[in-house]
Structure 1
Amino acid sequence: MNMDPSTARYDFTIPARQPWSGVVKKGEILRIVDIDGQQAVDTLFYSAADTSERYSCQDTLAAQRAAYVSIGTVIRSNEGRPMLTVIDDTCGRHDTSAGACSCESNTVRFGHQTRYMHACRENFIVEVSKHGMTKRDIVPNINFFMNVPVEPDGGLAVVDGISQPGAYVDLKAEMDVLCVISNCPQVNNPCNGFLPTPVRVLIWPAAT
């Protein structure tokens, strides 16, 4: 398939710190590009036909028997059905265990002075409301380009990202999916290099 950006049916740059959502039809390919490198892209997927079916990190990790998302990962729903497949990846490691930052977690981790800093959970709340959902519909997400190694004691560490400028991940939709992104605004840990930057989303039509 021709993956030249000029052939994409959709091409949009998500500003730093902002949310975005869009529908990817079955057979289409979604590309997320880390323009400047080391930028976490918190992402949720819902069935476009029925948003009560949505991404399940538990089903995804249990099925693949691996801790990270990368080439070959089949992203599964809470019904155990394939939603998307990762078909290309120039980063090599994407977290789906650490979840999304929130005002509450910022306060616990970084002090009360961070309580009112905008966070991914709040971005998600704003964006899912456009599709008739509420904060109750927000589930554990994928953090594309976020480096979260598992430490020897089983804990998770958020460390400097490994994605280089222009790194991308390609996902082929196995059903019509609603993709919801928070371009992470976190400035208190190194997941964004302490400086949130824009990311790019492209969608190519299904091959005919």
Structure 2
Amino acid sequence: MHAYDTAGDDTNPTRRVIVPAGRGSAVDVRRGQTLRVVNTSGTQVVDLWAHTRDEPGEYLGLSQCREVLQRIHFRPGDTLSTNRYRACLTVVDDTSGIDHDTLIAPCRTEMYLNVGLPGTHRSCTANHAQALPRWPSADPPQPWNLFMTAEVVPGGRIVYGRPPFRPGMYVELRAEMDLVLVVSSCPDDHYPTNGGDGSPRDFEILVDP
């Protein structure tokens, strides 16, 4: 199943992209546009990447953002940087109350094999490759894991948790340059990061003109 993309009209110019459970999509956004990543079910983790329109090798750089902001979680008002230290996204609003993870790698075939699951398991890495086939490597960058809780506790240990059940919670972003956003409805059912029974759910993206 592919993402369902509807263009806006004169009465409602907002573009709506529905990303099916366990799948991914690429969404073009122009500088100045705002977009909302809406957690329709209230339980779904969304891996998010942002690549510059003309050069996929420049992208939202999580390590650069952590360095510049001097913390591991991003908040409304923060401007996020590319791996080349250029402003690419600003966090406008966030209704989730979650410290969205910036540390954990995207799930991939080898991860599932490592924990005893079949290599045919869908993954965020495969979703990125399918959504952005011009990416030059089999390994995508570190994603921003929206709605994913991976708390760092004293001693440096990471504790995973499920998202709170808040259907319709969203993160709103403004593009500071022309971008291709790649998003994945994370299919991970091994770690306790997706809510409910751990299975993936649809989510949607709303792009304002």
* Same fold flag (TM > 0.5): yes
Equivalent residue number for residue 150 of structure 2: 148
Q: Deviations over 1:9-49 (max 9, x none)?
A: 31121110111011110000011000011210001101112
Deviation at 1:63, TM superposition (A): 1.0
2:129–2:138 Cα contact (<8 Å) kept = no
Output the TM-score relative to the length of structure 1.
Answer: 0.88
Say if 1:38 and 1:157 are closer, same or farther in 2 by CA, change over 3 A.
same
In 1: Cα distance, 2:139 partner to 2:23 partner? 19
- The amino acid across from 2:118 in the alignment is T
Deviation at 1:155, TM superposition (A): 2.6
Equivalent residue number for residue 3 of structure 1: none
Determine if the alignment matches structure 1 residue 118 to structure 2 residue 134. Answer: no
In 1: Cα distance, 2:30 partner to 2:165 partner? 27
In 1: Cα distance, 2:48 partner to 2:35 partner? 12
Alignment RMSD: 1.5
In 2: Cα distance, 1:10 partner to 1:124 partner? 21
Equivalent residue number for residue 80 of structure 2: 75
What SS does structure 2 have at the residue aligned with 1:192?
Answer: coil
Equivalent residue number for residue 170 of structure 1: 172
In 1: Cα distance, 2:19 partner to 2:39 partner? 10
- The amino acid across from 2:126 in the alignment is E
Which of 160, 163, 170 matches 2:162?
160
Q: Which runs of 5+ in 2 are unaligned?
A: 1-10
- The amino acid across from 1:201 in the alignment is I
2:46–2:145 Cα contact (<8 Å) kept = yes
2:125–2:139 Cα contact (<8 Å) kept = no
- The amino acid across from 2:110 in the alignment is E
Output the TM-score relative to the length of structure 2.
Answer: 0.88
Deviation at 1:140, TM superposition (A): 0.6
What SS does structure 1 have at the residue aligned with 2:180?
Answer: strand
In 2: Cα distance, 1:102 partner to 1:136 partner? 10
Q: Which runs of 5+ in 1 are unaligned?
A: 1-5
More strand by share: 2
What SS does structure 2 have at the residue aligned with 1:98?
Answer: coil
More helix by share: 1
What SS does structure 1 have at the residue aligned with 2:160?
Answer: coil
- The amino acid across from 2:16 in the alignment is D
2:57–2:135 Cα contact (<8 Å) kept = no
Which of 85, 95, 105 matches 2:101?
95
What percentage of aligned pairs have identical amino acids? 29
Paired residues, number: 196
In 1: Cα distance, 2:170 partner to 2:96 partner? 7
Deviation at 1:73, TM superposition (A): 2.4
